[in-house]
Each structure stands twice: as structure tokens, then as C-alpha cells.
Chain A
Amino acid sequence: MTDTLQAALSPRTRPATPGPLSASRTFGWRAMLKIKHVPQQLLDVTAVPIMFTLLFTFLFGGALAGSTSAYAQFAIPGILVQTVVFITMYTGVAINTDISKGVFDRFRSLAVWRPSLILGGLSADLARYTFAGAIVFVLGVALGFRPESAPGVVAAMALLLLFALCLTTIWIIFGLVMQTPEGVMNAAMMILFPLVFTTNIWVSESTMPGWLQAVVKVNPVTRVVIAVRELMDGTVNAGNIGWALLSCVAVAAIFAPITMLLYNRKLRS
């Protein structure tokens, strides 16, 4: 081993440090490799939404809307939002796993552009969100969901991805602060369940008591669901799109600065 070792160690020139884009792409490549090596990740992302979709449309569809397909027409855009919103927490889990294993030390001892680890991870997350969204959409169509506008579907998905990225900033904070990946997941669930269920995803808020209607109306997820529904139905109301975008911006404006602060502190304490 010694000869090849000596040869492998022979001094060579130091390459220039990669730029922000190159470093982010490398981290994105790493995150995609993880999907390849641990395909269970995708199972988590797809099995639960499939179950939810089938359960609600078949079990409650008749009672809530008269038929499975009629309920699918109402509920699928919301289920799409719910699906993607739930899996945003895995970003926080991934960051926490990197930190609790030693590999984070390797990354921060390199002279790469600091946010590239997060941005690279997000690029793979977008692929994951799109994949999960596509599964729900196809299943929905099979159950009788008929979107009215193809460009509307694309726009709705784009809006949903934007919202998902903004939400991610919250889970990254959890990932930086909590001790274990399980802790991140539990804490995220505590927030995600009320966040996703106090909305108009499953039933119209008009059926709820007044105080709950008020809660549902200020929930940013509700705002996104309304916009996604309208975009897919082709009944776009500029005001509701504006509310949805404002919800994205509000979430990001509150949490992104905290995320960056904690991240920079974690890089060097």
C-alpha cells in the first residue's frame, strides 16, 4: 500500500474554490444520491398521501359531497397542498441528521459558500415535492378529479412549491436547535397537525363554528388551498392569489432571518 499511497499523496496544485452555484449543485447532487440510496424516503412521501386520499374520498366522499368523484373534485387540490406541506419537515430532519453525524464538520471546515448546503438540499426537496404532488394529482384524476385549466395546474403547483420552500425555513430552525432527528420530527408534527387540519382542505369553513372559521381564515395554508383550488378550477380571483403570495412572504419574512442567524451561529460558535 505504501507506494501507491506515496504516489497518491504527491503534491498537486490547489484548485480554485467553487462558486456558490457550483457548490449548491454539488449539495443538490448529494441530496439526490440519498433519495437513490434510501428509496424509503420516497415511500414516506407517497404512501401517506395515497392513503389519505383514498380514505377521505371513499370513506367520507359520499357523506360530504354525495359521491366519491364529487368529493374528489372539491378535496384533491387541498390534499395536494397537505401532502407537500407535511413533507417539508424532512428538510429540518435532514439538516439535523447532518449535524448530529460528523459530516457537517467536514462541510463547515471547507471554504465553500455557506448557504450552499441548505440551497442544495432545497433543490432536491423541490424534486421530492413535485414527485409527491404528481402522485396525488394522478390518483385524483383516477378518482374523478377534473381540473379545468392546464396552465392553472402548473401555476398552482408553482405556488405550492413556493409556499413549501417558505415553510421549510421553520423546520430548518428546528433542525438547527433540536438534539435529534426524532425530536425535529415530533416537534414539526405538533405544529403541522393543527396547521393542516384547521383549514378548508376537507370541508368548507362555512360548516364550522364562528371562532374556528376565524382561525381557518388566518391560517396561511387555507390561503394557499383557496388559490390552488381556484387556479385548477380556472376561476382565478386575483385577490385570493395575492393573499396566498402574501402568506408565503409572511412566513419567509418571519422565519428566514432567524434561520440564517441560527445557521451562521451553528457554522461557527
Chain B
Amino acid sequence: MPLDTPLAIEASGLEKSFAATRAVCGVDLSVRTGTVYGFLGPNGAGKTTTIRMLATLLIPDGGTASVLGYDVVREADEVRRRVSLTGQYASVDEQLTGRENLVLIGRLLGLRRGEAKARADELLDAFDFTAAAGRQVETYSGGMRRRLDIAGSIVVTPDLMFLDEPTTGLDPRSRSQVWDIIRALVAQGTTVLLTTQYLDEADQLADRIAVIDRGTVIAEGTSAELKSSVGQGVLHVRLVDAQQRELGQQVLARTLGADVHLESEPTALTASVTDPERVSRALTELSRSDVGIAEFALGQPSLDEVFFALTGHAAEEATDDETDFDQEDAA
């Protein structure tokens, strides 16, 4: 991606509180046009609140943001004309049929009646809805609702699309369908900002990732950059004899030039690796010192480990009992 492409989203110092809860405390963001930007964080981290401020549904308490060059507060309608939002809870009308939902959105976007119907049929076809199109949405599965919601967001192809946890609660098949749709959107030129609790989802889809925790961005970069911030990888070694572990630790520490941790399992050692070249040397040194190796593995740090390293707690752990959505509702 060329670095001189214009910014699709530019935010600085965004803040939002609900009653006593500071949901978002000073988020800065810049997202380049045509890229996928991932917002990664646990429940209650402030992802939804941030995305709702950018999508003009919430007015920030502080800070500024522009989307596609328009201020989200002063030029909200200009933003709304160009973006679409697929919420955490599918924003479709359950009492209407799938087709009626899409015609409704088409009409509200300014399509003529005939155009709206034709567009609805085209999308229903593309999203494999043909059989279910005439059924009320309340009979749909979670995955179908989410796909219909996304279809609704592209009745008129948006310049920028906000996807708030697009795959939360979906089965693996629906999940990969949603991923395909997102990839197709991006290939066609739409900028995507997506939030997710799933580390592999951010890894799979996003060009850049912001890790958000307790209302602030605690790390930002490409997936590779985030991973390298906690080392190039991790070497796991299991010895044949637990008695030799101290010797093994000394040898590894010397050859790798890194701290070696003793795991709770009495034969296991792990060390973070800054230079993968040194690993083969270290293993050779071990056998030269007659330390028997039962097993070894060299792994890339997962985003899970990145998250843990950055926040000191696991990604699944919620920082608040309430989700973003609930907090906003209570306000």
C-alpha cells in the first residue's frame, strides 16, 4: 500500500463517558484509504463506542474525528452518505422479509422503487438468499441475519464500512463466508474498519491493527510488527532428564543471549528468540554438552501472547461486566 494514499479516518483524542464509566479515553487513529483496519480488544474495551462515534451515532465528549474528509460532528450527514455500519447486533427488521429489508434500505438511500427491488434481488442472489428471501427475518439463523445485515450495508457500495464484531457468535462456516465478503469488499476498493475479539480474525483480515484496552490504544501496527514487539518467536525445549535442566538453561542462555524460563513442567524450558539463526547453534551446543533433548519447537508468538504481553491479562478477559452496548444503553 503506497504511503501517500489519503486517510479515510483521522481521529485524535476521542473521548466518551457514560455516567461514571469512561468508555473511551483519548483514542488517536489514522486509517489509510483502501485498507482494512482492525480494532482488537476484549469486551468493554471501548471498541464499539469508538466505532459508533466514527459512524456518527454518538457525539464524542472530547477530541475530533474526520471520516473521508468530513467532520463526524459538524458534517455528520456527509459522513452518513458515504459509510455504512454493520452493528454488533444485526440491525435488520425481524418482522419483515429479507427482501423487504433490502428494498427498505434501498429506498431510504434514495433508489427508486424499481431500482431498489432490482438491487435487492441482485444482492439476495449474490449472498445465496434466494430460498429464504421471502421469509421473515425472525426465522433466520444468526449467520443469515449477519449476512443480510452486511448485504444491507452494501445496497449502495459504501466508500467506508464499519463492521462491529462481524463474526461474534457465528459458526465457522458463516464466519468464513463473512470473511469472504469482507475480502471482496476490500478488493473492490472499500475501506474497512472492523472490531473483533478474535485475534486470528484481525491477523487474517487486517492490514493494520490497533490493540485497545480500557478505552485506550495500547499498541498499533501491522500484525507482524505487533508480534515482533514481543520477540521474533519462542523456542520450547523439553529435556529427557529433569536433572539436566539447570545445565540446559545455562547453555541456552549463553548461546541464545536471552533469558531462559523454567516451566512448571520439570523438563521444560522456553526462551524468546531474537535471531532464529542462533537456534540451531543452541540445539547443537545442548547435545555437545550431553543434554538429551526429547522435543523442541520454534513458534511465532500468537496475537494471544502479544495481547498478554501488552496488557498483562488474556484477551478473553472482560475488563467490565457490561459490554460497550450495555454501557451506552444505561446512559
Contacts and interface: CB of A to CB of B under 8 A. Distances in A.
B92 A8 contact: no
Interface string A251-269: 0000000000000000011
A101 B104 CA distance: 16
B117 interface: no
B183 to A, nearest CB: 9
Interface string B222-253: 00000000000000000000000000000000
Given A268-B57, A268-B59, A269-B59, A8 B105 contact: no
Interface string A7-36: 111111011111000110010011001100
B101 to A, nearest CB: 9
Interface in B133-159: 136, 152, 154, 156-157
B293 to A, nearest CB: 46
Contacts of B84: 109
B75 to A, nearest CB: 11
Contacts of B105: 106, 110
A14 B157 CA distance: 8
Contact of A111 (B57, B80, B127): B80
A12 B156 contact: yes
A15 B111 contact: yes
A8 B156 contact: no
A37 B107 contact: no
A109 B96 contact: no
Contacts of B96: 30, 33-34, 37
A225 B188 CA distance: 62
A22 B116 CA distance: 13
Contacts of B87: 102, 105-106
Given A109-B56, A268-B56, A268-B59, A34 B95 contact: yes
A240 B286 CA distance: 104
Contact of B57 (A12, A34, A109): A109
A101 B126 contact: no
A16 B59 CA distance: 25
Interface string A24-53: 001001100110011000000000000000
Nearest to A112: B108
A37 B328 CA distance: 31
B59 A102 contact: no
Nearest to B186: A9
A110 B80 contact: yes
B285 interface: no
Given A15-B110, A105-B85, A269-B328, 11 more contacts: A5-B127, A7-B126, A8-B123, A37-B95, A101-B93, A102-B89, A103-B92, A106-B87, A109-B56, A268-B56, A268-B58
30 contacts: A1-B127, A1-B128, A5-B180, A8-B122, A9-B126, A9-B184, A12-B156, A14-B109, A16-B110, A17-B77, A17-B81, A18-B109, A22-B107, A26-B104, A29-B104, A29-B107, A34-B95, A37-B95, A37-B96, A37-B97, A102-B87, A102-B88, A102-B90, A109-B57, A109-B84, A109-B85, A110-B105, A110-B108, A111-B81, A268-B56
Interface of A: 1-2, 4-12, 14-18, 22-23, 26, 29-30, 33-34, 37-38, 101-112, 268-269
Q: What 10 pairs across the A-B complex have the smallest Cβ distances?
A: A15-B110, A8-B126, A106-B91, A102-B91, A111-B80, A102-B89, A26-B107, A4-B126, A111-B77, A109-B85
